Amino acid sequence: MLFQKAENTSVTLNPEIFQFIANCYGLLFMDEKETGNVCFAHSLELRPEFKQSFTAIDVLDLSYAILHSSLYSEDLKVGKLKIPIPQDVAVFWKLVQIGEELRGKEKE
């Protein structure tokens, strides 16, 4: 399950999904609140094949891309409500990029 109810009645991302993605791709989950000397970890100039970490925003962008895909809309018609996690890390990063672009277009 991607989302879960928090104690204060807000909805949060399920922390198990971060662990699953980390294990699936060998990536490190970086909490947005963490700070440190990680100069290029989230740089737009860093090519996806060199990324070694991901954030909650990346997971939301992945979800956004999948929810907007025509293939997923077919799954919704038959009642499938799960967000699939791609097996290939390159596909993961491509979907993250697409989700980010879609979010950017909606802000315009």
Residue with tokens 């000397």: 37
Question: Dmax over Cα atoms in the chain, in whole Å?
Answer: 47
Q: What is the pLDDT along the chain (108 residues), one digit of tens a residue?
A: 555 555 655 557 788 999 999 999 999 998 865 555 555 555 556 777 778 899 999 999 999 999 888 877 776 667 666 788 999 999 999 999 999 999 887 665
CA dist., res. 88 & res. 74, Å (int): 22
C-alpha dihedral, 28 to 12 to 40 to 101, nearest 10°: 120
User: Taking the domains of the chain in order of start, what are their residue ranges?
Assistant: 3-106
Write down the pLDDT at residue 51. Answer: 84
pTM of the model: 0.73
